[in-house]
Structure 1
Amino acid sequence: MTESGTDTGNNELAPIPRSLEKWLDQFAHYQVGERALSAHTVQNYQRQLQHMARYFVSLGITSWQQIEPNHVRLLATQSKRHGLKPASIRTQLSALRSFLDYLIRQNQLSANPAKGVSAPKADKPLPKNLDVDEVNQLLNVTDDEPLSIRDRAMMELMYGAGLRLSELTGLDLKSVSFHAGEVRVLGKGSKQRLCPISGEAVIWLKNWLKIRGQFAAADESALFVSSRGQRISQRNVQKRMAEWGQKQSLHSHINPHKLRHSYATHMLESSGDLRAVQELLGHANLSTTQIYTHLDFDHLAKVYDQAHPRARKRGARESESSSKKER
């Protein structure tokens, strides 16, 4: 296979043989007639399918029956190499799967070679965290309105324990142990973990519990309730936090995940203990924590060099050895 044969950037002028094109035309009629798709949608499908057909022709393919999963993987790889974004490649492969499924219904194929071929994963944008001063500015809620006290307690707990939004709203009264200084959380996958709490989080939880009875019925188990006395909803928490961000004159939009991310970042910057932060956040995999806290490799290497007894630079060990001999 020549380089030009795999270059999707040079396929626009490659002619599509009638053996391939006639099925593209029939698929277009099917989309208009039976699926009642708009002309714009059908044109998008056709444009993508024609581009892919030209690429397959460059591989020596002259009938749809010749396509194998490896050809589809090559298509995805070349698309990425030529700058197509993962989301666009997913759209491309989705169009191809739909077309090949149609050929199966027309008894032209026995299996769909595009099934199981996935597009490259898109890089997840990292959430922005607040710096310590911004967190202090947000949490400096000074009025004594009952709902303000509740909101500060929620925000102090989210930042103090690094809770997910669902974990916060799922807390019951029995979840908190002031004596042990911990809160029992039900995380993802129904996994329980204990999160230590202290300082401001404890102070404002106690402040909230003093007035909680003004809203909650005696048989309500939820730790945080709305003004109607029922367990507070996730949407309500998001709305209140966004409002507090504006009231406290913060320039960035405030949401629950931003507090959790700030907690993780500040804990990691202070301790350098990635494994401990993983446990505190309730992450199943260490790699998730590393991405979540945008920890760079240089920092990891520095921690490794300082912690591992055989990881220090040879010169440093020789220097230390010479120093011991001198002593």
Structure 2
Amino acid sequence: MPEFLEDFHTHLDSRNRSTNTILGYMYEINVFLRFMAVVLKKESIKDIQVTDLDKIRMTQIEKYIAESEDGIKLSETARRRKLSVLKTMYKYYLAIGAIKNNPTLLVEGPKLHERDVVKLSDSEVSALLNCIQNQDKISEHAKAYNKRMVDRDMAIIMVLLGTGMRVSELVGLNLSDIDTTEEHKVYFSIIRKGGDYDKVRVITPVYNAVADYIEFSRPLLLSSADENALFISTQGKRISVNAVQKMLKKYCKAAGLSDKYSPHKMRATFATKVYAETKDIYAIKDALHHSNIDTSKHYISDKEARIDAAAEAARLFFK
């Protein structure tokens, strides 16, 4: 990578971006530099200078975000992500006076079409929790293997459904992050996406599941008494995102649910339930720690529910 990108890397780090976010940015920029090298006839991306960013035109940016390196047409989501990275980079170098132009300002991002939110219904939530708790439709061999993990798995799914936190936030939880200092209330202190610290309210049923896990299951999984991670893997260490994903997939299959349900769909299930009960979009924004209300609006875009509501409203004509 050219040396001038070290400054941008430092800039991202100073803004408390997560390691994965920074890696994603740098990977995308590396792809863009390869595109630039072809356009500007450079032998290598190492030959690119920061001032070369001024030589890229709006139409070339549009071409870059439209296709992958293999010439495959990209989805609207992928195009928006690529443009977002370039906008951030150009904005930074323009702000510090390293370049004079920002062609990304002229590029209109693709509009995302409204999609129905993929979430679990109330009956599906019940089926999933019952499957974990009672080990329904699980083979005898698997039941014996799962014995140490049942309380843990139940606690994990209930935390995801009951708080809406991301799976990356969940696996980062420590025992020391549980705050019971306020009477009749429990909070988790978590590090949000982007590095922000936040407090998440934990309702009693969810906390009881976590407490049961800590008392009965966690000691059976630990490889070291000094381990501070809340959720422990079968290897005795902090559980990984991948392990949680596999666990959920296993139970969804056993419960007869769709294999499209992921930890993120638990977040969507929480968000849509919050809005259904409160009709308060800001409750979603604050609970999920969204920086933009437009992100929260995605979880109220249930077209089928709106159509039903509109039809029911017509009853007023016939009273």
Determine whether 1:121 maps to 2:110.
yes
Give the number of the structure whose alpha-carbon radius of gyration is greater.
1
Match of 2:200 among 187, 195, 202: 195
Match of 1:288 among 286, 295, 299: 295
| Cα deviation, residue 294, structure 1 | 2.0
Alignment-derived partner of residue 124 in structure 2:
134
| Cα deviation, residue 146, structure 1 | 1.9
Ranges in structure 2 where 5+ consecutive residues have no aligned partner: 1-37, 45-55, 67-72, 84-99, 136-145, 310-319
RMSD across aligned positions (CA): 3.9
Q: Report 1:26-41 matches (<5 A).
A: none
4+ aligned runs moved over 6 Å, structure 1: 111-115
Q: What's the CA shift string for 1:122-145, capped at 9, x where partnerless?
A: 527554011111111111122481
Is the CA contact 1:183–1:195 (under 8 Å) kept in the aligned structure 2? yes
Match of 1:226 among 233, 247, 264: 233
Code of the residue aligned with 2:266 in structure 1: it is: L
Alignment-derived partner of residue 209 in structure 2:
204
TM-score, L = length of structure 1? 0.55
Q: How many residues align?
A: 214
Instruction: Give identity over the alignment, percent.
Output: 25
- 2:128 alignment partner, SS class: helix
Distance 2:77 2:258 in 1: 33
| Cα deviation, residue 283, structure 1 | 0.7
| Cα deviation, residue 165, structure 1 | 0.7
Q: Which has the higher contact order (CA 8 A, sep 6+)?
A: 2
Alignment-derived partner of residue 182 in structure 1:
187
1:175–1:293 Cα change, 3 Å: farther
Q: What's the CA shift string for 1:188-236, capped at 9, x where partnerless?
A: 2211222221243122111100121112221100000101110000011
Code of the residue aligned with 1:137 in structure 2: it is: A
Alignment-derived partner of residue 263 in structure 2:
256
Is the CA contact 1:86–1:121 (under 8 Å) kept in the aligned structure 2? no
TM-score, L = length of structure 2? 0.57
Alignment-derived partner of residue 166 in structure 2:
164
Code of the residue aligned with 2:290 in structure 1: it is: H
Ranges in structure 1 where 5+ consecutive residues have no aligned partner: 1-26, 36-67, 95-110, 303-327
1:199–1:115 Cα change, 3 Å: closer
Q: What's the CA shift string for 1:134-193, capped at 9, x where partnerless?
A: 111111122481212211110001101111011100000011234532222211221122
Distance 2:286 2:268 in 1: 14
Of 256-265 and 211-220, deviating more is: 211-220
| Cα deviation, residue 284, structure 1 | 1.1
